[in-house]
A and B are shown apart, each in its own frame.
Chain A
């Protein structure tokens, strides 16, 4: 039942831009944000909240921009390399940060992300400062594409990537490593008594989350055609957590449900109100207080009652 629902949803996403072409950009961004939010959601499973993950979104987008400037023009190569770089950055930052829990984990992520932000913003000669860097239209398998064609390729590629990555993360969360993650949340010490190296479990999770944020960042960068330091600002990190929680961290689709819901609602709401943050903030508080499993929880709950 749920699987069918998800497939229908994906088909609807694929078909939407044919009816309304401007939706293509909005939906591409929704996939990008969903991927990044999924990264945050992975850590939330272990009860670890990061208000700094936008740094990996930015790192990857800047990675693409720098690699493109260095002469790499192929889409696939740019994507893979920038995500690998982000993964490495995640491993370095993670190795240091996973020692901390709770508020300290959240704040240290914030601290590191603000260093990233400030460096991106201040190194005018290298990063273009607050003007950011251009991300040119890349070639795809050696073929030079026009901008609209590339954006179409990017959109369908992103949706495909969302499905593949979503399945992979689902497998990961269902593996012993993934279950150990939830166990960190409930009882970390018992996990250690059982001989499970908590630091390894968390480091893997941190790198996975950085890679997911990196994927999102690269896609967002390609879609916008530019990367600016604001990608890494703390409110951007806050929004990633918000998307994850709004959608629900109970399963992989939650992050994407949150992202699509917010992006589409934003596009609609922008037409008649500019109190967007107020709406989102109130929705966030409402969901936390009354819908602890997020919007995705609505889906899963209805399935239980259907049984």
Chain B
């Protein structure tokens, strides 16, 4: 798992390695090759290609398209028109639900979808940071669901059952949630460090343990259940512990987004500026070498999983103190723990990469709901598109082969195909 941090991204060889002197025009072609085959281009093409596949699926399953396909040879224009209507309708609804609503009366209403996107992105970024941090240490944290639930339970309990002055209450609730997530993640790190238990098994198992624990607490009066109610649901959070709205009550975006920005800066600082982060990365690259270098690998596993759990827990905190403040049930995690894995992969386990990936997926989520409402296209299509994007971004040689793009860092060699060239490049990179 050592190369999880940069999945199959061939490090561009230094330009100086190019053969001999070049005149001006050659240098231009070379730059063009590097740009068109580079990683930004790959990302854009991956998104475009995923959207095209999504469009094909939308068109194929559209009833009007199927109808008009029946008499394609007598009136082909009907079919094309139906395909266009289905696809354009769906994607424009997706765009208007996630970024800018052209039909709105004024700018303040039109921009509302963008704030929705950021609201959806908030927990995705937090959980993505947690999963990504674990990846950097060479561990796979599939336990997002459990860590989110425990953190949500802890933060939620403090938020509705403890009375504190405004401000302090919010901070105490956040700390309680972070602690809950850190403990639930830390158990995994501790077991891995002390007994060698595989983190994949333990996180999966702890997901179920957390789910049933929260379900039990939710139907136990005096624990998480709302007093005087039979529903497995908590009472609403006290207003002193709720994240304030960032732009007033018209928008759902809350101050939780600021905590996520802070978390991103923290993870960036931790990984690239701190001593502990250096140890994390060393263990992630090669645990044996790290041990030989005097790093306490066992402690690294423990700390990394605890921090990872706390970050994923932040997603749970944001859910209960920001997004759903009227009381929550056991479905509060909303699958974010698993979405976070794809967010972390798309962000290549780098803090700001995850931030961007979280916003992209938040946009898909916000837009997906309005697409489902407006055009009747199931929101599941968004999941397909997201998966395809990650798949293509993870496989640059495939995208290059599909679009006949050059491999950056290589010069024109007509006999070697793009795939083979990138393979040999890969060997050099290793």
A, B: real partners: no
* A contact set with B: CB distance below 8 Å: none
* B contact set with A: CB distance below 8 Å: none
